[in-house]
Amino acid sequence: MTSLPPPATKKLGLVIDLDTCVGCHACAVACKEWNDGGDFGPLPDADPYGAEPHGVWFNRVHSYAVEPGIGNRESGMGKAPRSTPLSTASAIPHSPFPIPGAQAQTVHFPRSCLHCETPACVTVCPTGASYKRAEDGIVLVDADKCIGCQLCSWACPYGAREYSVERGTMQKCTLCVDRIYNETLDEIDRQPACVMACPTRARHFGDLGDAESAVSKLVAERDGYALMPEFGYAPVNRYLPPRPRRGGCGDTSPHPDPLPGGDREKSGDAEFSGVLRWLDRVLSR
Amino acid sequence: MRPTFSIICFTVLSGMGYGAWFLLGLGYAIGPRCEPHRFGAGGVSAMQCGEPFLTHAGFLLASALTCAGLLCSLGHLGKPQRAWRALSQWRSSWLSREGVLALLTFMPAAWLLAREIAMPFVAIRSSPEWMPIFEWSSNVSFHSRLSGFALAVGSLATVYCTANIYASLKPVRAWHDRHVVPAYLLLSLYSGGILLLASGAIWVRGNWMLLAGVIVLSIAGAWLKHRYWRAIDALPAPYAGHATGLSSFGEVRSFEAPHTEENYLTHEMGFVLARKHARKLRRIALVLAFLVPGVLALLALVVPAIGVPAAWLALASGVPGLFVERWLFFAEAKHAVMAYYAR
pLDDT of residue B177: 95
Contact yes or no for B249 and A241 at CB 8 A? yes
Q: Would you give the DSSP letter of residue A230? A: G
Closest partner residue to B91 (CB to CB) among A3, A159, A242 is A3
Would the pLDDT of B115 be above 90? no
Q: Flag whether residue B257 sits within 8 Å of chain A, measured between CB atoms.
A: yes
Q: How far apart are the first and last CA of chain A?
A: 54
Q: Flag whether residue B101 sits within 8 Å of chain A, measured between CB atoms.
A: no
Q: Flag whether residue A45 sits within 8 Å of chain B, measured between CB atoms.
A: no
Band (B140; pLDDT cuts 50, 70, 90): low
Closest partner residue to A239 (CB to CB) among B82, B92, B245 is B245
pLDDT of residue B45: 36
Q: Flag whether residue A75 sits within 8 Å of chain B, measured between CB atoms.
A: no
pLDDT tens profile B293-311: 999 999 998 988 888 899 9
Residue of A nearest to B73 (CA): A149
Q: Number of residue pairs across A and B with CB atoms under 8 Å?
A: 204
pLDDT of residue A102: 56
Q: Flag whether residue B265 sits within 8 Å of chain A, measured between CB atoms.
A: yes
pLDDT of residue B116: 67
Show residues of chain B in contact with A67, CB under 8 Å: 250-251, 253
Would the pLDDT of B40 be above 50? no
3-state SS string for chain B = CCCCHHHHHHHHHHHHHHHHHHHHHHHHHHCCCCCCCCCCCCCCCCCCCCCCCCCHHHHHHHHHHHHHHHHHHHHCCCCHHHHHHHHCCCCCCHHHHHHHHHHHHHHHHHHHHHHHHHHHHHHHHCCHHHHHHHHHHCCHHHHHHHHHHHHHHHHHHHHHHHHHHHHCCCCECCCCCCCHHHHHHHHHHHHHHHHHHHHHHHHCCCCHHHHHHHHHHHHHHHHHHHHHHHHHHCCCCCCHHHHHCCHHHCEEEEEECCCCCCCHHHHHHCCCHHHHHHHHHHHHHHHHHHHHHHHHHHHHHHCHHHHHHHHHHHHHHHHHHHHHHHHHHHHCCCECCHHHHCC
* Topology annotation, domain A12-63+109-240: Alpha-Beta Plaits (3.30.70)
pLDDT of residue A86: 41
Query: Measured at the alpha carbon of residue B256, what is the angle toward residues B254 and B259, in degrees to the nearest 5?
Result: 125
Radius of gyration of chain B (CA): 23
Contact yes or no for A87 and B253 at CB 8 A? yes
> For residues A180 and A175, what is the distance between their CA atoms, to the nearest angstrom?
8
pLDDT of residue B305: 83
Contact yes or no for A155 and B78 at CB 8 A? no
> For residues B18 and B190, what is the distance between their CA atoms, to the nearest angstrom?
11
Band (B327; pLDDT cuts 50, 70, 90): very high
Show residues of chain A in contact with B89, CB under 8 Å: 1-3, 125-128
Beta bridge partners of B252: A66
> For residues A62 and A64, what is the distance between their CA atoms, to the nearest angstrom?
7
Band (B119; pLDDT cuts 50, 70, 90): low
Q: Flag whether residue A149 sits within 8 Å of chain B, measured between CB atoms.
A: yes
Are the C-beta atoms of B86 and B95 separated by less than 8 Å?
yes
Are the C-beta atoms of A86 and A101 separated by less than 8 Å?
yes
pLDDT of residue A261: 41
Contact yes or no for A154 and B259 at CB 8 A? no
Contact yes or no for A126 and B171 at CB 8 A? no
pLDDT tens profile B206-218: 567 788 899 999 9
pLDDT of residue B39: 39
Q: Flag whether residue A74 sits within 8 Å of chain B, measured between CB atoms.
A: yes
* Segment among B56-60, B293-297, B338-342 with least mean pLDDT: B56-60
Determine which of A127, A132, A223 to mutate to test the interface with B (most B C-beta atoms within 10 Å).
Answer: A127
Sheet holding A105-111, edge to edge: A105-111, A60-67, B251-256
pLDDT of residue B210: 84
Show residues of chain B in contact with A2, CB under 8 Å: 89, 91-93
Which one is predicted more confidently, A70 or B107? Answer: B107
pLDDT of residue A215: 96
pLDDT tens profile B84-95: 999 999 999 999
pTM given for the model: 0.84
pLDDT of residue B122: 57
Q: Which of residues 136 through 175 in chain B touch A, CB cutoff 8 A?
A: 165, 168-172
Would the pLDDT of B205 be above 80? no
Average pLDDT, chain B: 85
pLDDT of residue B121: 57
Q: Flag whether residue A150 sits within 8 Å of chain B, measured between CB atoms.
A: yes
pLDDT of residue A101: 53
ipTM: 0.87
Show residues of chain A in contact with B268, CB under 8 Å: 150, 153, 163
Q: Which of residues 290 through 319 in chain B touch A, CB cutoff 8 A?
A: none
Residue type present at position B81: Q
Band (B55; pLDDT cuts 50, 70, 90): low
pLDDT of residue A241: 95
pLDDT tens profile B149-169: 999 999 999 999 999 999 999
- Annotate B300-312 with b (16+ C-beta within 10 A) or e (fewer): bbeeeeebbebbb
pLDDT of residue A72: 43
The CATH number given to B5-341 is 1.20.1630.10
Determine which of A73, A228, A239 to mutate to test the interface with B (most B C-beta atoms within 10 Å).
Answer: A228
> For residues B185 and A170, what is the distance between their CA atoms, to the nearest angstrom?
30
Domain parsing of chain B, residue ranges: 5-341
What is the pLDDT averaged over residues B180-205?
Answer: 83
Which one is predicted more confidently, A269 or B46? Answer: A269
Which one is predicted more confidently, B326 or B204? Answer: B326
| pLDDT, block means (10 residues), chain A with 285 residues | 82 96 96 91 89 93 85 34 40 53 83 96 95 95 95 96 94 95 94 96 96 96 95 96 70 41 45 74 75
Q: Which of residues 152 through 181 in chain A touch B, CB cutoff 8 A?
A: 153-159, 162-165, 167-169
pLDDT of residue B209: 79
pLDDT of residue A156: 97
- Annotate B267-288 with b (16+ C-beta within 10 A) or e (fewer): ebbbbeebeeebeebbebbbeb
Which one is predicted more confidently, B144 or B325? Answer: B325
Residue of A nearest to B83 (CA): A147
Q: What are the C-alpha distances in Å from B21 to residues A7, A116, A140, B15?
A: 43, 41, 39, 10
Please tell me the distance in Å from B179's CA to the nearest CA on chain A.
19
pLDDT of residue A273: 72
Show residues of chain A in contact with B341, CB under 8 Å: 62
pLDDT of residue A82: 36
pLDDT of residue B204: 40
